[in-house]
Structure 1
Amino acid sequence: MKYFQLKEAQLTGLRNDLHMRDPRQKFDEIYVSATGRVNYDERKLNPDFVSIPPIVVSDTIKRLFKDYQADIEARAVYFNDIEQQKQFVYWWLELPTTRECLHEKTTYGARGEITELVIQAERAKMYHIFQIKHQNQYYWVINLAVAESLLRRGLSGFILEEVRSLMYNE
């Protein structure tokens, strides 16, 4: 199976400025929703995938992910532009988190950060969508079926980077 890392596309100058009211807030510290602010400009793109932090996604991506992996939890994040009286809803997702899917051939940089993500195929096959947490960084990984579904919908704000997947003994 092929896997892809879902990353934010750097749309400099095109993306609206989204900001969480409390960027240190944790997923399990909010019950139903969180709020933030946005300086809305209708000439700019409202992407479907934004890494603020946290990573937030549009309703379309949230629904697609839940179709593939029903155990994903979601909290609404409302971004408000007070001046223009507009509100945008994004979703903060809690994906299944695992380190067991990391293959021993994953490479690390001088500061311990992952420089090349390698997935252990037999452990990852139970997930369509998951995240790997390493040193306060989150790596979102999706399988080929989910990647194709995202691309068919013409969504924006992300890039897909193929991740090597190896069997345990490779």
Structure 2
Amino acid sequence: MGYYILSQDKTFRNQVVIDKSRLPEELRQLGYPRRKNYSEWNNSISGDKCFNLVVKSNADNYYSDFIENPYLLISDELKKVFISYESNLSCNCTILSDRGNKIQKVYWFCALEMADCLGTDSEFYPDHSIKELILDRKRIGNRKIFQVAGIREKRFIASLDVVESILRRPFTGICVEKAAVRVN
């Protein structure tokens, strides 16, 4: 089975930008989930919590279906696809608010499972950022959507069937790149 890296398409102009200086205190204290604090982070945001994130006001803001900075936010329609493959996916309703233009959009704050599936053949630069990502098929197990643990960068991975479902729908702002997978 093939796996693909999902990322936000940076070619769109006027992409919505979260105002990091106005993040809710709870998110500011937690930072972004990393391997060491993932369970604590996931427990803190799970449940029925809703978030209101202020975006930088721009009349031409573009709201893509997949936003990865500073947190993974997905549109309502993309969440339906993700949930159909990962029924235990932790998502919290998040409102993106452009106060200047009086616009609010519903998104879902996602905490994907951190999978320790980094292949031994993966290569790193001297600063420990990833040079070549290679996934270990055995360690992936039967996960469909997950985040790679053990690297500095955020890498969101989806299986071929999930990617096919995404590509059959009119989603925008998502880049899909084939991931290298080794079977050991």
> TM-score range with shorter-chain normalisation?
0.7 to 0.9
C-alpha contact (below 8 Å) 1:107/1:116 kept by paired residues: yes
Equivalent residues in 2 for 1:106-125 (5 A)?
106-125=122-141
CA contact (8 A) 1:81 1:87 kept: yes
Ranges in structure 1 where 5+ consecutive residues have no aligned partner? none
* Aligned match for 2:51, one of 30, 34, 42: 34
Which residue of the partner structure matches residue 38 of structure 2?
A: none
Q: Give the corresponding residue for 1:24.
A: 28
One-letter amino acid of the counterpart of residue 61, structure 1: L
Q: Which moved more, 1:147-156 or 1:27-36?
A: 27-36
| 2:10 counterpart SS class | coil
- Give the CA deviation at 1:136: 4.5
After TM superposition, give the deviation of residue 44 of structure 1 in Å: 4.5
The secondary structure found in structure 1 opposite 2:180 is strand
Q: Secondary structure at the match of 1:17?
A: coil
Other-structure match for 2:170 = 154
Equivalent in the alignment of 2:37: none
Q: Distance in 2 between matches of 1:76 and 1:44?
A: 20
- The within-5 A match list for 1:1-170 is 1-20=1-20, 21-22=22-23, 24-26=28-30, 27-28=41-42, 29-30=44-45, 32-38=49-55, 39-41=57-59, 43-99=60-116, 101-168=117-184
For the structure 1 residues 84 and 159, does the alpha-carbon distance in structure 2 shift closer, same or farther, using more than 3 Å as the test? same
Q: Secondary structure at the match of 1:165?
A: strand
2:33 corresponds to = none
Number of positions where the alignment pairs a residue of Structure 1 with one of Structure 2: 166
Cα distance in structure 1, aligned partners of 2:135 and 2:50: 33
TM-score (norm 2): 0.81
Corresponding residue SS for 1:24? helix
Q: CA deviation at 1:72?
A: 0.7
The two structures have a TM-score, normalised by structure 1, of 0.87
Once the two structures are TM-superposed, the CA of residue 123 in structure 1 deviates from its matched residue by 2.4
Instruction: Select between 19-28 and 66-75 the one with higher mean Cα deviation.
Output: 19-28
Question: Identity of counterpart residues, as a percentage?
Answer: 24
The structure with more strand, counted as a fraction of residues: 1
| Partner Cα separation in structure 2 for residue 14 and residue 143 of structure 1 | 30
- Aligned partners of 2:174, 2:16: CA distance in 1, in Å? 14
Bigger helix fraction:
2
- Partner SS state of residue 76, structure 1: strand
CA gap 1:33/1:137 in 2 versus in 1, 3 angstroms: farther
Map Cα deviations across residues 134-158 of structure 1 (whole Å, 9 max, x no partner). Answer: 3553211001100111111121112
